[in-house]
């Protein structure tokens, strides 16, 4: 199960654009890793969650 989740993360990091919610810890981790690990921070990230989930997002 862990390997499946890690594989999903690696596939997500290959994408050029993301749709997610920053209220999710998984999406936050992918958002951080795409800036640090694969240098795709300039790619678009579309927030799908409500404003209250990301209003204090300051990573």
CB 23 within 8 A of CB 53: yes
Q: Is the pLDDT of residue 51 over 80?
A: no
Give the model's confidence band at 53: pLDDT under 50 very low, under 70 low, under 90 confident, else very high.
low
Q: What is the pLDDT of residues 19-41, one digit of tens each?
A: 888 778 888 888 888 888 888 88
- Spatial distance between the Cα atoms of 38 and 49, rounded to a whole number of angstroms: 24
Q: Which residues contact 44 (CB under 8 A, 6 or more apart)?
A: 17, 18
User: Which pTM value belongs to this model?
Assistant: 0.67
Over residues 10-24, mean pLDDT:
85
- Spatial distance between the Cα atoms of 49 and 18, rounded to a whole number of angstroms: 13
Q: What is the pLDDT of residue 7?
A: 92
14 membership: H or E segment, kind and range: none
């Amino acid at each position: 199960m862990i390997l499946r989740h890690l594989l999903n993360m690696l596939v997500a990091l290959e994408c050029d654009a993301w749709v997610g919610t920053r209220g999710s810890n998984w999406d936050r981790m992918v958002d951080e890793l795409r800036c640090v690990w694969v240098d795709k921070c300039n790619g678009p990230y579309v927030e799908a969650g409500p404003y209250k989930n990301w209003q204090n997002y300051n990573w």
